[in-house]
C-alpha cells in the first residue's frame, strides 16, 4: 500500500463504527488491541523505576487509558489513573481486579508535579470525540500535565486538538509522543499542531476499511518512490525529456542559476535555459551542461520582444518553467499568459510568474500547469488571506484544485501540500535548513527536471519529497545548509528512493 491516509475525527469515527457494526468486531476487542499496542509503545520508552500517571476522559479515549492502567499494573509498573466518576466497562474490570482509580483533582495535580523526566503522563482525556475547548477539570489537568517534568504520551491526538482543524483555543496537551489509533488524524499535521504532537506514530489495532473515498494522504517515502522516474538501461537523452527554463534578470541572477542546477541534478535529458543576455556568461560558467536560448530585446530582463522566441522553443519541450528571478515587468506577464493560453506544454510556474498570474489563464486549451506558491503568492492568486491559508493549507489546496482541474498545486511552507483534483498529499517534516531564500527556486528546478519524463502530479510529489529530504543527507548545520549542499545531496536522495531504504 503506497497511500497513508490522514483522517478527520468524523472519518475515524465512521471507521470505528464500520468495524464494530458491519464487520462485527466488538468495541472492547478494539479497545484491548489499542491499549495493548499503546502499552508496548510506552514500555519501549520506560526505564526501571519510571512512574506513569494516566489521565482518562469520559469517552472511549478514557477507556483506552483505563485499560492501559490495568495492563501496565499487570506488567508490574507503578501507575496511577485519574477518571471522573461514572460507570464504564473498563472501570468495572478495574473494580473487579481491585485496581484503584483516583478521582481527586488536587491529588492528581500534586502527583503530576512530583514526576520526573523518566516518568510519563498518558493523555487519554479526549480523542476523536472532542467537541469543544477544554475547560474546568480538563483545563486544570492539561495545565498540570504540561507543567510536569514527565514526558507525555497522547492517545490518538493531544487533548484539546481537533482531529480535523488542529488545536482549539485554550489549553492543549503538549505531547512528546502521539500515538494515533488506526490512522493519523489530519489535525495533527497542520502547522499549528506540529509543535504540540512531538513524535507521531500510528498503531494498527485491526480496524476495517469502510471503502468510502478518501482525499487526504501523507506524503511518505513509499509514495515518493512510486513517483520516481524509472531509468531504463537502454535509454538515451530523449528518454528523460527536454526542459526549457525561463527566468533571471540583472538584479536577480541567482534564482535561475540555482533552479537550473537543481533541475539538471533531477535527471532530465536536455536542459535549455532562457535568460537575458546579461546573465548568459554567468550561466555558461555555473552550468556548462545547459544550452542557452538567445533572447532579443532588453539585455537586462525578459522583455516582450523575447516572448516569441521562448514560445517557439517551448513547442519542442516536454516541460517549461518560468518565473525564477524574472522580475514582474510586462514581458513576464505576456510570457506567462502566452505560455498558458497559446501552448499545451506542461508548465511549472514559480516566483514572479505567480505574482503576475491571472487565475483565469489556468483554464488552458491543453496541457497541465504546476504552480509552486508559498502562502503569500497563493494569497495573491486566490484573494484568500495568508492567515487562513496557513491555518489550514490542506483545505485551501483542496478548494483550489477542485476549481482548477488542469492544475497541480504545490503549496509550500514548513508543511507542504501537493494537490490535484481535490486530492491532497501532505508533507509535514519541518526542517529549518530550507527556511532561506533560494530553497523555493531549487524546488521549482527539481520538479521541472522530474516533469520532463514524469506526469506533473508524480513529478510534484517526488520533487517535494526529495527537496525536503536533502538536508538529512547533509552533515551541515541547518544554519549553514545552502543551495550547493542541496544539489550535492540529491544523488543520495535518489539512490535511497531507488534502493528502497530510508535516509
Ligand atoms: N469506538 C471504539 O471502539 C474505539 C475507540 N477508540 C478510542 O476512542 C476515542 C474516541 O472515543 P469517543 O468517540 O468516545 O470520544 P472521546 O474523545 O473519548 O470523548 C468523547 C466524550 O468526551 C466528551 N467531551 C468532548 N469534548 C469535551 C470537552 N471539551 N470537555 C468535556 N467533555 C468533552 C463528550 O461529551 P459531549 O461532547 O457529548 O458532551 C464525550 O462524552 C478515539 O480517539 C480512540 O482513542 C479506540 O480505542 C478504538 C476503538
Ligand atoms: N521550516 C521549514 N521546513 C520545511 N521546509 C521549509 C521550511 N521553510 C521553508 N521550507 C521550504 O523551502 C522552500 C522555500 O520556498 P520559497 O518561500 O519560495 O523561497 P525562495 O523563493 O526564497 O526560494 C519551500 O519549498 C518550503 O516548503
Ligand atoms: K488524547
pLDDT tens sequence across 295-318: 999 999 999 999 999 999 999 999
Coil vs helix vs strand at 430: coil
Annotated binding-site residue? 62: yes
List the beta bridge partners of residue 155. Answer: 179
- Report the residue among 390, 440, 446 best suited for mutation to probe ligand 2: largest number of ligand atoms under 8 A from its CB: 440
The pLDDT > 70 percentage for the chain reads: 100
Ligand at shortest distance from the CA of 63: 1
pLDDT in tens, 472-485: 988 899 999 999 99
pLDDT of residue 94: 98
pLDDT at 227: 97
260, 444 Cβ separation under 8 angstroms: no
Residue with the smallest CA separation from ligand 1 atom 11 is 60
Nearest ligand to the CA atom of 9: 1
441 Cβ inside 6 Å of ligand 2:
yes
For residue 394, how far is its CA from the centre of ligand 3 (angstroms)?
Answer: 23
Please give the C-alpha separations between residue 120 and each of 54, 108, 142, 175, 201, in angstroms, as whole numbers: 8, 13, 14, 10, 17
Closest residue by Cα to atom 11, ligand 2, is 434
64 is in an annotated binding site: yes
Q: Are 2 and 222 in contact (CB under 8 A)?
A: yes
Ligand nearest to the CA of 89: 1
Please report, to the nearest 10 degrees, the dihedral formed by the alpha carbons of residues 331, 332, 334, 337 taken in order.
Answer: 170
Q: Which residue has the cell 546573465?
A: 279
Which 3-state string (H, E, C) describes 26-93? CHHHHHHHHHHHHHHHHHCCCCCCCEEEEEECCCHHHHHHHHHHHHHHHCCCEEEEECCCCCCHHHHH
414 annotated as ligand-binding: yes
Looking at residue 502, its pLDDT comes to: 78
**DSSP H or E run through 411:** strand 407-411
| Residue range 140-151: mean pLDDT, rounded | 98
pLDDT score of 503 more than 80? no
Confidence of residue 211 (pLDDT cuts 50, 70, 90): confident
Sign, CA torsion 190/195/198/199? positive
Residue range 341-377, pLDDT digits in tens: 999 999 999 999 999 999 999 999 999 999 999 999 9
- pLDDT at site 1: 59
Q: Give the pLDDT score at 242.
A: 98
Share the mean pLDDT of the chain.
96
Contact assessment for residue 478 and residue 433, using Cβ atoms and an 8 Å cutoff: yes
Is the C-beta atom of 469 inside 6 A of ligand 2? no
Q: And the C-alpha cell for 488?
A: 550535492
pLDDT in tens, 419-444: 999 999 999 999 999 999 999 999 99
For 358-372, letters b (16+ CB in 10 Å) and e give eeebbebeebbbbbb
- From residue 446, give the alpha-carbon distance in Å to each of 1, 315, 386, 397, 490: 26, 21, 26, 21, 9
The residue among 95, 139, 101, 147 whose CA lies nearest residue 121 is 147
Q: What is the ipTM of this complex?
A: 0.93
13 carries a ligand binding annotation:
no
Quick one: average pLDDT of 216-221?
97
How many Å apart are CA 59 and CA 56, to the nearest integer? 8
Ligand 3 ion: nearby residues, β-carbon < 5 Å:
123, 154-155, 159
Q: Consult the annotation and say whether 374 binds a ligand.
A: yes
| Three-state secondary structure call for residue 408 | strand
pLDDT at 2 over 90: no
Residues with CB under 6 A from ligand 1: 13, 16, 20, 27, 30-31, 34, 57-62, 64, 126-132, 134, 138, 155-156, 181, 205
The ligand 1 atom nearest the CA atom of 28: 3
Q: Which ligand 2 atom lies nearest to the CA of residue 439?
A: 23
- SS3 of the chain: helix, strand, coil, percent, to 5: 45, 15, 40
Sign of CA dihedral 165, 29, 176, 497: negative
Structural element, H or E, at residue 466? helix 456-473
HSE toward the beta carbon, residue 187, CA cutoff 13 A: 25
pLDDT digits (tens, 9 = 90+) for 77-123: 999 999 999 999 999 999 999 999 999 999 999 999 999 999 999 99
List domains and CATH numbers for the chain: 4-211 (3.40.50.10260), 238-369+427-498 (3.40.1190.20)
Number of residues that this document lists for the chain: 503
Which listed ligand is nearest to 204 at the C-alpha? 1
How far away, in angstroms, is 435 Cα from ligand 2 center? 5
In 300-366 the beta strands, taken as DSSP E runs, fall at 319-322, 346-349
Phi, psi of 245 (to 5 degrees): -120, 125
Q: Is the model's pLDDT at 154 over the cut of 90? A: yes
**pLDDT of residue 54 exceeding 80:** yes
The share of the chain scoring above pLDDT 90, in percent, equals 97
Residues 181 and 169 sit within 8 Å (Cβ to Cβ): no
Residue nearest to atom 15 of ligand 2 (CA): 440
**Ligand 2 in reach of 430 Cβ (< 6 A):** yes
Alpha-carbon span 124 to 85, nearest angstrom: 15
Angstrom distance (rounded) from CA 417 to CA 414: 10
Distance CA 347, CA 337 (A): 12
Amino acid at each position: 500500500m503506497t497511500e497513508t491516509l490522514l483522517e478527520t475525527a468524523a472519518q475515524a469515527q465512521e471507521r470505528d463504527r464500520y468495524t464494530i457494526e458491519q464487520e462485527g468486531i466488538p468495541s472492547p476487542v478494539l479497545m484491548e488491541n489499542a491499549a495493548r499496542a499503546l502499552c508496548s509503545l510506552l514500555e519501549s520508552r520506560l526505564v526501571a523505576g519510571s512512574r506513569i500517571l494516566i489521565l482518562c476522559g469520559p469517552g472511549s479515549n478514557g477507556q483506552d487509558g483505563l485499560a492501559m492502567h490495568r495492563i501496565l499494573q499487570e506488567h508490574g509498573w507503578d501507575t496511577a489513573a485519574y477518571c471522573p466518576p461514572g460507570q464504564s466497562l473498563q472501570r468495572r474490570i478495574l473494580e473487579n481486579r481491585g485496581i484503584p482509580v483516583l478521582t481527586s483533582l488536587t491529588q492528581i495535580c500534586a502527583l503530576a508535579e512530583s514526576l520526573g523526566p523518566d516518568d510519563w503522563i498518558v493523555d487519554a482525556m479526549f480523542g476523536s470525540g472532542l467537541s469543544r475547548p477544554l475547560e474546568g477539570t480538563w483545563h486544570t489537568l492539561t495545565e498540570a500535565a504540561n507543567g510536569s517534568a514527565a514526558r507525555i504520551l497522547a492517545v490518538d491526538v493531544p487533548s484539546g486538538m481537533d482531529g480535523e482543524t488542529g488545536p482549539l483555543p485554550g489549553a492543549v496537551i503538549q505531547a512528546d509522543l502521539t500515538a494515533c489509533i488506526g490512522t493519523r488524524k489530519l489535525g495533527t499535521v497542520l502547522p499549528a499542531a506540529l509543535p504540540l504532537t512531538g513524535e507521531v506514530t500510528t498503531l494498527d489495532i485491526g480496524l476495517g476499511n469502510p471503502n468510502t473515498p478518501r482525499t487526504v494522504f501523507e506524503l511518505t517515502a513509499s509514495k515518493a518512490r512510486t513517483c520516481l522516474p524509472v531509468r531504463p538501461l537502454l535509454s538515451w537523452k530523449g528518454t528523460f525529456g527536454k526542459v526549457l527554463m525561463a527566468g533571471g534578470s540583472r538584479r536577480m541572477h541567482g534564482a535561475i542559476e540555482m533552479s537550473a542546477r537543481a533541475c539538471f541534478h533531477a535527471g532530465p535529458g536536455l536542459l535549455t535555459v532562457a535568460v537575458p543576455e546579461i546573465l548568459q556568461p554567468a550561466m555558461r560558467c555555473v552550468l556548462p551542461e545547459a544550452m542557452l536560448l538567445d533572447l532579443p530585446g532588453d539585455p537586462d530582463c525578459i522583455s516582450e520582444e523575447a516572448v516569441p522566441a521562448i514560445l517557439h522553443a517551448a513547442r519542442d519541450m516536454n516541460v517549461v518553467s518560468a518565473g525564477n528571478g524574472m522580475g514582474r515587468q510586462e514581458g513576464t506577464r505576456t510570457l506567462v499568459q502566452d505560455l498558458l493560453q497559446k501552448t499545451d506544454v506542461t508548465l511549472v510556474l514559480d516566483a514572479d510568474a505567480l505574482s503576475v498570474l491571472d487565475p483565469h489563464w489556468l483554464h488552458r486549451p491543453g496541457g497541465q500547469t504546476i504552480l509552486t506558491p508559498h502562502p503569500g503568492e497563493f494569497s495573491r492568486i486566490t484573494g484568500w488571506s495568508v492567515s487562513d491559508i496557513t491555518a489550514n493549507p490542506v483545505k485551501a489546496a483542496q478548494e483550489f484544485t477542485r476549481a482548477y482541474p488542469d492544475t497541480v498545486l504545490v503549496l509550500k511552507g514548513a508543511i507542504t501540500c501537493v494537490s490535484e483534483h481535490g486530492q491532497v498529499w501532505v508533507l509535514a517534516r519541518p526542517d529549518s535548513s530550507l527556511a532561506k531564500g533560494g530553497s523555493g527556486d531549487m524546488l521549482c528546478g527539481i520538479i521541472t527536471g522530474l516533469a520532463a519524463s514524469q506526469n506533473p502530479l508524480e513529478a510534484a510529489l517526488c520533487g517535494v519529497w526529495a527537496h525536503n529530504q536533502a538536508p538529512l543527507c547533509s552533515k551541515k548545520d541547518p544554519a549553514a545548509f545552502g543551495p550547493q549542499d542541496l544539489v550535492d545531496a540529491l544523488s543520495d536522495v535518489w539512490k535511497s528512493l531507488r534502493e528502497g531504504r530510508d535516509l
